[in-house]
Structure 1
Amino acid sequence: MKSNSKTKVFLNISLLAVFIGVIIYVMDNSLSDIFAQLMKTSWVVVGLVILLGVVYQIVEGRSIKEIASYFQRDFTTKDGFFTSCYVAFYRVISFGTGTLLSEIYFYKKKGLAVSQGVGVTALHMIMYKVAVIFLSIIGLIFQFSLFYEHSPKMIPFILVGVGLTFVIIFSLLILSSSINLQVLLIKWTDKHFKRKKLRDWVDKCNLQIYSLRETVQTITKDRSAMIRIFGWNVAKLLFWYVIPYVVLVENHPTIDFLLVVSFTSFSVILSGVFPTPAGIGPFEFVYLLLFKPIVGTVDAVSSLLLYRFGSFVLPFLIGFVYVLIQKRRDIKMDLSAARKEKKET
């Protein structure tokens, strides 16, 4: 028991050291351009970007709360806010690989079962993508004549992006709610898995899948809840999509607000389907492709960097502070337990 407490202290301190090391690496290699741009930008614009980024997280927290509170009544908008920031932190730390797992783990810490956490995560992702599609279609309708005149070749890409996002949504819904798929999985495992250990593992998986299906169906049957969740997701995206306008309007006072919001939404929807040169992220490539002809390369790049700060770096920094406080608390508790054990011995 004594060695166990000491091991926990050592592991928590080691994990904290790894986090700090990765953060220094990321700051130096990936985020240095963003912070350099912040120093060149007026504090009014930076303040507005931070405000929009924080409001986004609050609205995101509300959208998460609308889903998670079905299974944990004490789950608040504040919990949803820190869920989003916690996930943003682990997205950066794990270079994207731990995003979904970190969200499920956060829900587990808040008292949700694993299957419920998976269900909340799946619905959270689905409703986000539905909102992305909605805003992209609205933008295409309002800006169609402009697109047709200047970039007609982009229209098929946007439609493909919408189509592929629909496929992702449909696949997630099928995987998380189809009883037929679960029956098919059971039949297939009954035929191919004969060893007892494998059978026990499959049975546990089937129970989790069954619980997941119940979780998803519990919420999707409530139409008013689905409309509320959809509304919160549309609202949160608008706070992100406004950031480029806030940055660009200072040097381009005549720039059209709806055009900027539409182009940003197109960048999000196209980032998953547009072929990009090596070393350039898909979102960045599409964003610059759309905005450079309108505002020039320098302003397009600066608005992109500030958008990335508000949508990517800011929640990561808030998440880092949250994780730091949690780890500090864990280390203090483990040290206290180790001292207590030492006195007892």
Structure 2
Amino acid sequence: MSELKQRITMKAIIKPTIFFLLIGYFVKYLWSSFDAIFLELLETSIWLVLIVIFLGIIYQLVEGKMVQTIIKVTEKPFRSWEGMMASCYAAFYRVVTFGAGTWLAEINFYHRKKLTISEGVGVAVFRFMLFKTAACVLAIFFLITEWYLFSTEIVLVVIICIFINLLINGIILLAALSMPLQILFVILCDRWIKKVKWRAKVDQVNLQINALRQMTSDLMRKKKLLFEMIFWGIVKALIWFIIPYICLKADHPEFNLFISLALISFVTVISGVIPTPGGVGSFEISYMIFFSPYVGKVDAASSLLLYRFATFILPFIIGGAYTFISRKKTEKD
């Protein structure tokens, strides 16, 4: 087996293994409280559920606006609702492919909307980076303003995770903008890849990297557009981040909005450095660890389920409906 195949195989094994270990720990952690959590969910107000659904939809609309803003750099027509559908389409395939087909689905969506493959890759990469950046910005803000409310250990862990998230963004940007790295890639391919078939694929990848670098360079030069993207990224993160507070404030009036926002921003940056499909497993464990001391295990778990419905299940449902309708329309044509 080649080294490349070994790496792919190891990656395919490691991520699901970590995922099931974390889910197993999560189930064990809540096993004695499942009946109380179930009863808590049964008592949930229909108005609270509707508010959570509303916030989930508003998030997707803002996501669509952000995607449209990114695509402006290509000067190609793209509507904000299409950006929303791109996000939900990717969310649908995140579930059905266990995280493996998320990026391929999103890039394919953009390609069907007349973007080149490299432009689609650029949009998907920037969407990924913007959410990480927004979460880090909010986490840094709350560390500065609310640091005295948290233990030294928590502050240290959050700082380390913020650094790792920003480092990931930096590496992606460097790879997209660095000509020396691209030259090194070409040199290595020239040395080790001799088959004509694979050489053609390398040439294609090289052309896509060129286009991605050009798109990234154009976007970095358009400061107004870049700040607009970051603005929408922070707005959409806040829409999701306010959900736990909405779910918990009725039973815990002493639970401060800023503490809730700080906790969910910390959870997001911490789960972002743990390699599980879609962050599932790592997010749940982090959420319970951070929220349980403030509101108890049962209320933390019930708010987590509502949060995950808005951020994971709802876009999956919308994306599934879009996929079904699109396929039916294609079959008719």
Bin for the TM-score computed over the shorter chain: 0.7 to 0.9
What TM-score results when the alignment is normalised by the length of structure 2? Answer: 0.84
Q: How many matched pairs?
A: 296
1:316 is aligned to 316
* Distance in 2 (alpha carbons) for counterparts of 1:230 and 1:95: 29
Q: 1:58 to 1:37 in 2, by over 3 A?
A: farther
Moved more, 69-78 or 138-147: 69-78
Answer whether contact 2:73 2:215 (CA < 8 A) is retained. Answer: no
> Structure 2 regions of 5+ residues with no counterpart?
1-26, 28-33
Match of 1:89 among 75, 81, 92: 92
Q: Deviations over 1:142-167 (max 9, x none)?
A: 220010xxx32111110110111011
Alignment of 1:169-248 (within 5 A): 169-248=169-248
Match of 1:73 among 73, 76, 79: 76
* Distance in 2 (alpha carbons) for counterparts of 1:310 and 1:36: 20
Alignment of 1:1-345 (within 5 A): 39-71=42-74, 73-147=76-150, 151-273=151-273, 281-333=281-333
Q: CA deviation at 1:274?
A: 6.7
Moved more, 151-160 or 235-244: 151-160
* Distance in 1 (alpha carbons) for counterparts of 2:223 and 2:83: 21
Answer whether contact 1:85 1:319 (CA < 8 A) is retained. Answer: yes
Amino acid at match of 1:212: L
* Distance in 2 (alpha carbons) for counterparts of 1:275 and 1:197: 33
Q: CA deviation at 1:273?
A: 4.3
Q: CA deviation at 1:216?
A: 1.3
* Distance in 1 (alpha carbons) for counterparts of 2:96 and 2:210: 32
> Structure 1 regions of 5+ residues with no counterpart?
1-29, 334-345
* Distance in 1 (alpha carbons) for counterparts of 2:209 and 2:236: 30
Query: Partner of 1:75: helix, strand, or coil?
Result: coil
Answer whether contact 1:37 1:306 (CA < 8 A) is retained. Answer: no
Answer whether contact 2:93 2:101 (CA < 8 A) is retained. Answer: yes
Q: Deviations over 1:186-206 (max 9, x none)?
A: 122222233333332222221
Query: Partner of 2:115: helix, strand, or coil?
Result: coil
Amino acid at match of 2:96: I
Answer whether contact 1:126 1:169 (CA < 8 A) is retained. Answer: yes
Amino acid at match of 2:100: T
Amino acid at match of 2:132: K
Query: Partner of 2:232: helix, strand, or coil?
Result: helix
Query: Partner of 1:69: helix, strand, or coil?
Result: helix
RMSD: 2.2
1:341 is aligned to none
What TM-score results when the alignment is normalised by the length of structure 1? Answer: 0.81
* Distance in 2 (alpha carbons) for counterparts of 1:156 and 1:77: 39
* Distance in 2 (alpha carbons) for counterparts of 1:273 and 1:116: 26
Q: Deviations over 1:22-77 (max 9, x none)?
A: xxxxxxxx9xx999976541011111101111111111110000011332532011
* Distance in 2 (alpha carbons) for counterparts of 1:35 and 1:69: 46
